[in-house]
Structure 1
């Protein structure tokens, strides 16, 4: 409905407050205005045409040795500026045509003047568009042609009673040619710099999007892997005891309900952040203060967890707190999935410069297929690396498995400037 109102009854789209001609009559604009197929530059071409026509009239008053402006001169001036209308679409052809018409104009003995500005504009457009050789060849041809006209062919060309131009005057023409090329090259360099900056901004935005997708995938993996592992274990318990011990089966189902509810809440929080990245999350990100809940969930899956804390606990930056919680959560999930041990130990050591986490189980590995994506350890390492920390995971010398994480603690201003993802604001 809005699109129909914007288009009008069967017509082209109209802009608010400007009508369909806000960007000029339709016949003036062809193609999108994104730099790949630019519209015809009518306003600047008309202004330049008027400037050349009027300025040439004033210039003729001070050049009594040249032929007065005639209708032919006006036509040549008009053609030299009219072709500039296509300078964005056919820059090489336009600079050659403008240079040629200018040489014909000067060869006919008409006065010097603003017609050289048309050559400068055509050269600038060609160089900026990447047709440097065509532009250089055109201005070199203009200079060579002017030398030929001024010092060898002047006897055979109008006005007929003039002599050769002084060689000192050629220095002015040379300076003009060099100035045209220099300004055109400067415009090309500036345009390339702007294009490079736009490309860099686009790549940076793409990198940020990729990092955000990776962060979301990591969050969803950590949330779902733990909760679904608990649900899987309890579902097996419930099925095994459904007939022989209904009360225990009821307990398993209760644990499944609680785990699924919590998983849904955390998934909803992650998706809300994804849908509205600029808004603050409705619930705080989980941290080590929720470690007792994690231990209780692991207990529901049949895993006993002993937690030991060393050092004076201080308020952790949100990024470190979230990463620490996820590391413990993923490590306990792996114990539930892959270890035959029903006992795990978690050590949380607070030091002045780092937070150390160590999760041990006595094993042995079950060797059974436990499902999952196999990205748990990789996700933990990515989280630690994002904060400048490390993760070590592997078998212990006397059996079992150990995960050790060292997360550096930023101090002062850095700690306050961290977001929940560990990135600087």
Structure 2
């Protein structure tokens, strides 16, 4: 609707300009050209009125404007006014991508102008060159506008595609975050619930401790899920849902015999800190699933160019309550996190237990 209104406004404006210029040119060229009469004014109105049909029939509208221009000149009327609508129509035809039709019509009109000028007695080379130069400049200008518009459209499409790719990566990251949050906390809740059921009759105080752990874990999973889901909402801050500053809480909630060792310290990029936390979390989840009675050493070593994470457990002769559920996506997920940051992760048997080692590259520390 807005485009239609703009076309009507442009038609009325151009119609007024051509009719007024037609009268002015007729006065200025009195004695040399015929005065503009009703037929001449009708021909001057053709080009502006065909703007309304240009979007639906662009080639026909341009051809009609060119024909009205030719008839205007053949009628002997003053030079000038009809050239405006003809130039606009040819330029629009090029910009809209119908280049061959535009160049063909421009060539036909140029030939007509040259022949008409020769028949009218303007046989100088200057006149020939002037007409040819005007037509060439008009078409080249239209081509330049077309090229600029196409480049802008290409850039806009590339930016939109990049935006979609980033959004897809964010969703994948959030899905991984959600998986890690649920896998760890639900596994912890399951283990502690089994412990509570086992001890509730003989050792109620220890069962109470297990239930308290379940309460804390459920509260934690709800909080982290809310944080992860908030990231998916428009305008939500893109911040890590967990970091290494929460490792002590993670170890305390795990219900495992864990020794946490930190060698050195330095600021870490958010993505590295989040990945490191999730790797430790998933490693402890696997211990809780398969060897809940094992002793665990979680070691973080802050090196100059990398963060080394090593989680080692001693193994257990008693299968975990979740071991019968089989393997999941824990180790592949940890490896994907490390690889995404340019690091490496290995996981496998270590003595009677299991060991996960990850090396995450770090940027050079600024002095």
Matched, 1:64 2:16: no
Deviation for aligned residue 1:375:
3.4
Does 2:186 correspond to 1:210?
no
Counterpart of 1:313 in 2: which secondary structure? coil
**1:65-108, CA deviations, whole angstroms, 9 ceiling, x for partnerless residues?**
33222211111011122112333333222211111111111122
CA distance in 2, matches of 1:392, 1:341: 25
1:143-178, Cα deviation, whole Å (9 max, x unpaired): 122334344xx4xxxxxxx54644532222211111
Q: What whole-Å deviation, never above 9, does each CA across 1:200-229 have from its counterpart, x for those lacking one?
A: 221122122222212222222222211111
SS in 2 for 1:275: coil
**Do 1:40 and 1:85's aligned partners in 2 also have CA atoms closer than 8 Å?**
no
Shift of residue 51 of structure 1? 1.9
Equivalent in the alignment of 1:342:
294
Q: Distance in 2 between matches of 1:99 and 1:71?
A: 19
Equivalent in the alignment of 1:306: 259
Secondary structure at the aligned position of 1:69 is classed as: coil
C-alpha displacement at 1:194, in angstroms?
1.8
2:116 pairs with 1:149: yes
Please tell me whether residue 391 in structure 1 is matched to residue 347 in structure 2.
no
Cα deviation code 1:176-209 (max 9, x no counterpart)? 1111211111111111122112212211221222
| Match status 1:44 vs 2:10 | yes
Q: Report the Cα distance in structure 2 between the residues aligned to 1:181 and 1:140, rounded to whole angstroms.
A: 10
1:297 equivalenced with 2:253 (yes/no)? yes
| Aligned CA distance change for structure 1 residues 260 and 130 (closer, same or farther; 3 Å) | same
Check conservation: 2:114, 2:131, Cα contact below 8 A: no
Provide, for residues 272-309 of structure 1, a one-character-per-residue CA deviation record: whole Å limited to 9, x for no partner.
4443645597xx853333322222222x2xx3223333
CA contact (8 A) 1:99 1:139 kept: no
Shift of 1:113: 0.6
Q: Which residue of 2 aligns with 1:264?
A: 222
Question: Are the counterparts in 2 of residues 389 and 405 from structure 1 also a CA contact under 8 Å?
Answer: no
Give the whole-Å Cα distance in 1 for the aligned partners of 2:62 and 2:291: 77
User: What's the CA shift string for 1:295-329, capped at 9, x where partnerless?
Assistant: 2222x2xx32233333x323444443332222111
SS of structure 1 residue aligned to 2:325? coil
Quick check: 2:338–2:345 contact (8 Å CA) kept in 1?
Answer: no
| Structure 2 residues without counterparts, runs of 5 or longer | none
Secondary structure at the residue paired with 1:358? strand
- Corresponding position of 1:81: 48
Q: How far off is 1:231 after superposition?
A: 0.7
Matched, 1:380 2:346: no
1:187–1:177 Cα change, 3 Å: same
1:24-423 counterparts in 2 under 5 A? 30=1, 40-60=6-26, 61-62=28-29, 64-151=31-118, 154=119, 163=121, 165-243=123-201, 245-275=203-233, 277-279=235-237, 285-298=241-254, 300=255, 303-310=256-263, 312-339=264-291, 342-363=294-315, 368-370=323-325, 374-386=328-340, 388-396=341-349, 398=351, 400-411=353-364
TM-score (norm 1): 0.76
Distance 1:81 1:290, change over 3 A: closer
The gaps in structure 1 that reach 5 residues or longer are 1-29, 155-161, 416-425
**How far has the Cα of 1:369 moved from its partner?**
4.2
